[in-house]
Structure 1
Amino acid sequence: MKLTQWALAALLVAGAGTPALADGDAARGQTLFSRCSACHTVTEQNKMGPHLSGVFGRTAGTVAGYTYSKAMAAYGKAWDETTLDTFLTAPNKAVPGTKMAAGAIANPQDRADIIAYLKTLGAS
Protein backbone atom coordinates (compact mmCIF):
# COMPACT_ATOMS: atom_id res chain seq x y z
CA MET A 1 0.00 0.00 0.00
CA LYS A 2 1.20 3.50 -0.78
CA LEU A 3 1.53 6.10 1.96
CA THR A 4 -1.56 7.97 0.72
CA GLN A 5 -3.62 4.77 0.88
CA TRP A 6 -2.42 4.16 4.47
CA ALA A 7 -3.31 7.73 5.42
CA LEU A 8 -6.79 7.40 3.92
CA ALA A 9 -7.34 4.06 5.67
CA ALA A 10 -6.22 5.58 8.99
CA LEU A 11 -8.66 8.47 8.59
CA LEU A 12 -11.53 6.11 7.83
CA VAL A 13 -10.76 3.93 10.84
CA ALA A 14 -10.38 6.96 13.13
CA GLY A 15 -13.87 8.15 12.24
CA ALA A 16 -15.45 4.72 12.69
CA GLY A 17 -16.14 5.20 16.41
CA THR A 18 -18.08 8.42 15.93
CA PRO A 19 -21.79 8.18 15.16
CA ALA A 20 -22.56 9.38 11.66
CA LEU A 21 -25.55 11.67 11.87
CA ALA A 22 -27.62 11.75 8.72
CA ASP A 23 -29.58 14.84 7.81
CA GLY A 24 -32.94 14.54 9.50
CA ASP A 25 -36.41 15.21 8.15
CA ALA A 26 -38.30 17.01 10.93
CA ALA A 27 -41.73 16.36 9.37
CA ARG A 28 -41.04 12.62 9.22
CA GLY A 29 -39.59 12.84 12.74
CA GLN A 30 -42.83 14.33 14.02
CA THR A 31 -44.69 11.31 12.66
CA LEU A 32 -42.12 8.91 14.12
CA PHE A 33 -42.37 10.68 17.48
CA SER A 34 -45.67 8.85 18.00
CA ARG A 35 -43.61 5.91 19.28
CA CYS A 36 -42.22 8.24 21.99
CA SER A 37 -45.48 9.97 22.91
CA ALA A 38 -46.70 7.24 25.24
CA CYS A 39 -44.05 8.44 27.71
CA HIS A 40 -43.02 11.94 26.54
CA THR A 41 -44.80 15.14 25.54
CA VAL A 42 -43.64 18.12 23.53
CA THR A 43 -45.44 20.50 25.88
CA GLU A 44 -44.20 21.26 29.38
CA GLN A 45 -46.16 18.36 30.86
CA ASN A 46 -44.28 15.40 32.27
CA LYS A 47 -45.67 11.92 31.77
CA MET A 48 -43.95 8.61 32.49
CA GLY A 49 -40.88 10.35 31.04
CA PRO A 50 -39.89 14.02 31.15
CA HIS A 51 -41.28 16.48 28.64
CA LEU A 52 -39.07 17.18 25.64
CA SER A 53 -40.02 20.79 25.02
CA GLY A 54 -36.77 22.74 24.73
CA VAL A 55 -34.67 19.59 25.02
CA PHE A 56 -31.81 20.92 22.85
CA GLY A 57 -29.11 22.46 24.98
CA ARG A 58 -30.78 21.38 28.22
CA THR A 59 -28.65 19.45 30.66
CA ALA A 60 -29.93 15.90 31.02
CA GLY A 61 -31.80 15.16 34.23
CA THR A 62 -32.91 18.73 34.95
CA VAL A 63 -36.61 19.05 34.03
CA ALA A 64 -38.45 20.50 37.02
CA GLY A 65 -41.09 18.23 38.49
CA TYR A 66 -39.73 15.01 37.02
CA THR A 67 -38.03 12.38 39.18
CA TYR A 68 -35.01 11.07 37.32
CA SER A 69 -32.98 7.97 37.99
CA LYS A 70 -29.76 8.64 39.88
CA ALA A 71 -27.87 7.71 36.72
CA MET A 72 -29.62 10.31 34.55
CA ALA A 73 -29.39 12.99 37.23
CA ALA A 74 -25.63 12.39 37.35
CA TYR A 75 -25.16 12.17 33.55
CA GLY A 76 -24.53 15.91 33.33
CA LYS A 77 -24.32 16.27 29.54
CA ALA A 78 -26.34 18.69 27.44
CA TRP A 79 -28.66 17.20 24.84
CA ASP A 80 -27.47 17.82 21.30
CA GLU A 81 -27.39 15.79 18.08
CA THR A 82 -24.57 13.54 19.29
CA THR A 83 -25.78 12.88 22.83
CA LEU A 84 -29.34 12.23 21.64
CA ASP A 85 -28.16 9.94 18.85
CA THR A 86 -26.01 7.95 21.26
CA PHE A 87 -28.79 7.76 23.86
CA LEU A 88 -31.52 6.79 21.39
CA THR A 89 -29.28 4.11 19.90
CA ALA A 90 -28.94 2.30 23.25
CA PRO A 91 -30.32 4.17 26.28
CA ASN A 92 -29.03 1.71 28.89
CA LYS A 93 -25.58 1.64 27.33
CA ALA A 94 -25.35 5.43 27.09
CA VAL A 95 -26.64 5.99 30.64
CA PRO A 96 -26.50 2.72 32.61
CA GLY A 97 -29.33 2.79 35.15
CA THR A 98 -31.64 5.10 33.18
CA LYS A 99 -35.37 4.58 33.68
CA MET A 100 -35.87 4.55 29.91
CA ALA A 101 -36.09 0.80 29.43
CA ALA A 102 -37.67 1.00 25.99
CA GLY A 103 -36.82 3.47 23.32
CA ALA A 104 -33.82 2.17 21.46
CA ILE A 105 -34.15 3.23 17.83
CA ALA A 106 -32.00 1.00 15.65
CA ASN A 107 -32.54 2.78 12.34
CA PRO A 108 -30.08 5.71 12.00
CA GLN A 109 -32.37 7.64 9.67
CA ASP A 110 -35.31 7.30 12.08
CA ARG A 111 -33.08 8.65 14.88
CA ALA A 112 -31.92 11.54 12.68
CA ASP A 113 -35.52 12.40 11.78
CA ILE A 114 -36.70 12.30 15.41
CA ILE A 115 -33.73 14.41 16.46
CA ALA A 116 -34.49 16.91 13.68
CA TYR A 117 -38.07 17.13 15.00
CA LEU A 118 -36.88 17.60 18.59
CA LYS A 119 -34.71 20.50 17.37
CA THR A 120 -37.86 22.28 16.20
CA LEU A 121 -39.18 22.30 19.77
CA GLY A 122 -36.74 25.00 20.75
CA ALA A 123 -33.68 25.08 22.90
CA SER A 124 -33.55 25.65 26.60
Structure 2
Amino acid sequence: MGFNGEILVLNCEKQDLINHGRPDLAEQVVHTSVIEGDGAGFNTLSFTPHGEPKFIEVKTTTGGKGTPFTMTLNEVAFSEIHANHYYLYRLYNYNRIMNSGELYILEGDISRERELLATQFRVY
Protein backbone atom coordinates (compact mmCIF):
# COMPACT_ATOMS: atom_id res chain seq x y z
CA MET A 1 0.00 0.00 0.00
CA GLY A 2 2.81 2.43 0.88
CA PHE A 3 4.61 1.79 -2.41
CA ASN A 4 1.36 2.27 -4.36
CA GLY A 5 0.80 5.60 -2.59
CA GLU A 6 4.33 6.68 -3.50
CA ILE A 7 3.75 5.83 -7.17
CA LEU A 8 0.45 7.71 -7.16
CA VAL A 9 2.11 10.84 -5.75
CA LEU A 10 5.10 10.49 -8.10
CA ASN A 11 2.82 10.42 -11.15
CA CYS A 12 0.76 13.35 -9.84
CA GLU A 13 3.92 15.40 -9.30
CA LYS A 14 5.08 14.75 -12.86
CA GLN A 15 1.68 15.65 -14.29
CA ASP A 16 1.48 18.81 -12.18
CA LEU A 17 4.85 19.99 -13.51
CA ILE A 18 3.76 19.25 -17.08
CA ASN A 19 0.53 21.17 -16.46
CA HIS A 20 2.62 24.13 -15.25
CA GLY A 21 4.67 24.08 -18.46
CA ARG A 22 7.69 22.36 -16.90
CA PRO A 23 8.10 19.01 -18.69
CA ASP A 24 11.86 19.48 -18.25
CA LEU A 25 11.42 19.24 -14.47
CA ALA A 26 8.88 16.42 -14.74
CA GLU A 27 11.59 14.31 -16.40
CA GLN A 28 13.84 14.90 -13.38
CA VAL A 29 11.38 13.69 -10.71
CA VAL A 30 12.99 10.72 -8.93
CA HIS A 31 11.51 7.90 -6.83
CA THR A 32 14.33 8.21 -4.32
CA SER A 33 13.24 5.41 -2.00
CA VAL A 34 13.50 2.93 -4.89
CA ILE A 35 16.94 4.15 -6.00
CA GLU A 36 18.54 4.84 -2.60
CA GLY A 37 16.38 2.75 -0.30
CA ASP A 38 14.31 3.78 2.67
CA GLY A 39 17.20 5.48 4.49
CA ALA A 40 17.13 8.68 2.45
CA GLY A 41 14.57 10.35 4.74
CA PHE A 42 12.10 10.99 1.93
CA ASN A 43 10.46 9.04 -0.91
CA THR A 44 10.46 11.37 -3.92
CA LEU A 45 12.54 14.25 -5.20
CA SER A 46 10.32 16.63 -7.15
CA PHE A 47 10.31 20.34 -7.91
CA THR A 48 8.14 23.40 -7.68
CA PRO A 49 7.26 25.00 -11.04
CA HIS A 50 10.02 27.55 -10.23
CA GLY A 51 12.63 24.78 -9.99
CA GLU A 52 12.99 24.63 -6.20
CA PRO A 53 13.53 21.09 -4.87
CA LYS A 54 10.72 19.28 -3.06
CA PHE A 55 11.69 16.43 -0.75
CA ILE A 56 8.45 14.48 -0.48
CA GLU A 57 7.62 11.83 2.12
CA VAL A 58 4.40 9.93 1.38
CA LYS A 59 2.35 8.35 4.16
CA THR A 60 -0.60 6.22 3.02
CA THR A 61 -3.37 4.66 5.09
CA THR A 62 -6.80 3.24 4.38
CA GLY A 63 -8.14 5.04 7.44
CA GLY A 64 -9.56 8.55 7.62
CA LYS A 65 -7.82 11.89 7.80
CA GLY A 66 -7.12 11.61 11.52
CA THR A 67 -5.63 8.09 11.37
CA PRO A 68 -2.19 8.06 13.02
CA PHE A 69 0.77 7.05 10.88
CA THR A 70 4.39 6.23 11.64
CA MET A 71 7.57 8.06 10.76
CA THR A 72 11.12 7.00 11.42
CA LEU A 73 13.53 9.11 13.45
CA ASN A 74 15.48 9.62 10.22
CA GLU A 75 12.39 10.95 8.42
CA VAL A 76 11.60 13.38 11.23
CA ALA A 77 15.22 14.57 11.39
CA PHE A 78 15.31 15.04 7.62
CA SER A 79 12.15 17.18 7.80
CA GLU A 80 13.84 19.39 10.39
CA ILE A 81 17.12 19.77 8.51
CA HIS A 82 15.44 20.40 5.15
CA ALA A 83 12.36 22.23 6.43
CA ASN A 84 12.41 24.81 3.62
CA HIS A 85 12.00 22.08 0.98
CA TYR A 86 10.24 19.29 2.89
CA TYR A 87 6.70 18.13 2.11
CA LEU A 88 4.72 15.35 3.75
CA TYR A 89 1.98 14.08 1.44
CA ARG A 90 -0.63 12.41 3.62
CA LEU A 91 -2.72 10.06 1.49
CA TYR A 92 -5.71 8.75 3.47
CA ASN A 93 -8.91 6.85 2.72
CA TYR A 94 -6.74 4.99 0.23
CA ASN A 95 -8.70 2.54 -1.92
CA ARG A 96 -6.50 -0.28 -3.19
CA ILE A 97 -8.94 -1.33 -5.91
CA MET A 98 -9.35 2.17 -7.35
CA ASN A 99 -5.75 3.19 -6.51
CA SER A 100 -7.03 6.48 -5.18
CA GLY A 101 -7.41 8.40 -1.96
CA GLU A 102 -7.69 11.82 -0.41
CA LEU A 103 -4.67 14.00 0.24
CA TYR A 104 -3.39 16.81 2.38
CA ILE A 105 0.11 18.26 2.43
CA LEU A 106 2.21 19.43 5.37
CA GLU A 107 5.23 21.60 4.66
CA GLY A 108 8.36 22.03 6.74
CA ASP A 109 9.56 20.50 9.99
CA ILE A 110 7.01 17.83 10.86
CA SER A 111 7.67 18.25 14.60
CA ARG A 112 6.25 21.78 14.34
CA GLU A 113 3.17 20.58 12.46
CA ARG A 114 2.08 17.51 14.44
CA GLU A 115 2.46 15.92 17.85
CA LEU A 116 5.07 13.17 17.78
CA LEU A 117 4.82 10.20 20.12
CA ALA A 118 7.88 7.98 20.58
CA THR A 119 6.79 4.36 20.23
CA GLN A 120 10.09 2.51 19.90
CA PHE A 121 13.62 2.80 21.20
CA ARG A 122 16.78 0.94 20.29
CA VAL A 123 18.44 -0.41 23.43
CA TYR A 124 22.17 -1.16 23.53
Normalized per residue, the structure richer in helix is: 1
Q: Same fold (TM over 0.5)?
A: no
- Give the TM-score, by structure 2 length: 0.25
The higher relative CO (CA closer than 8 Å, separation ≥ 6) is in 1
Normalized per residue, the structure richer in strand is: 2
Higher radius of gyration, 1 or 2? 1
- Give the TM-score, by structure 1 length: 0.25
